[in-house]
Amino acid sequence: MTKQELLEGKVFVTPSYYGVGDNTFKFEQVEEDNQRFITSETRSNDGNRVIIQRNELNVTKITDNTLSGFTWVFGKLFKIRYNLKDLRLYDDVRKYDDVRV
């Protein structure tokens, strides 16, 4: 995935993506508040519809090569950094999914 694709809000998956039924993600931004975050999308069994969307990661920095951010789980802070090249566009991996409806 490229920085431009991320900023355009293209749907992507992480390296641990296992196929239909796993979460997808996308970058979102609220200009007025200067908020940047990654939302997690829970999809239908066929992967066509988003059923639940929630904030997954608060974005602190985006470079040409990396995405950095943080999240809280049960009061514990987790800092996360991904290489953009390791994130894959959902449309690219979806064609290889073994779709069971």
Question: Is 31 inside any structural domain?
Answer: yes
Give φ, ψ of 95 to 5 degrees: -65, -15
16 CB-near residues (< 8 Å, 6+ apart): none
CA 47 to chain centre: 15
In this predicted structure, what is the pLDDT of residue 22?
A: 82
In this predicted structure, what is the pLDDT of residue 65?
A: 97
In this predicted structure, what is the pLDDT of residue 16?
A: 81
Question: Is 101 inside any structural domain?
Answer: no
Residue type, 9: G
**Containing structural domain, residue 32:** 3-94
- Does the global pTM surpass 0.85? no
In this predicted structure, what is the pLDDT of residue 100?
A: 41
Say how far apart CA 101 and CA 94 lie, in whole Å: 14
Say how far apart CA 48 and CA 45 lie, in whole Å: 8
In the block, tokens 């069971």 appear at 100
In this predicted structure, what is the pLDDT of residue 19?
A: 72
Question: Is 100 inside any structural domain?
Answer: no
Question: Is 35 inside any structural domain?
Answer: yes
Question: Is 99 inside any structural domain?
Answer: no
pLDDT along the chain (101 residues), means of 10: 96 83 90 90 84 94 97 96 94 64 35
In this predicted structure, what is the pLDDT of residue 99?
A: 46
- Per the structure, the count of domains in the chain is 1
Question: Is 77 inside any structural domain?
Answer: yes
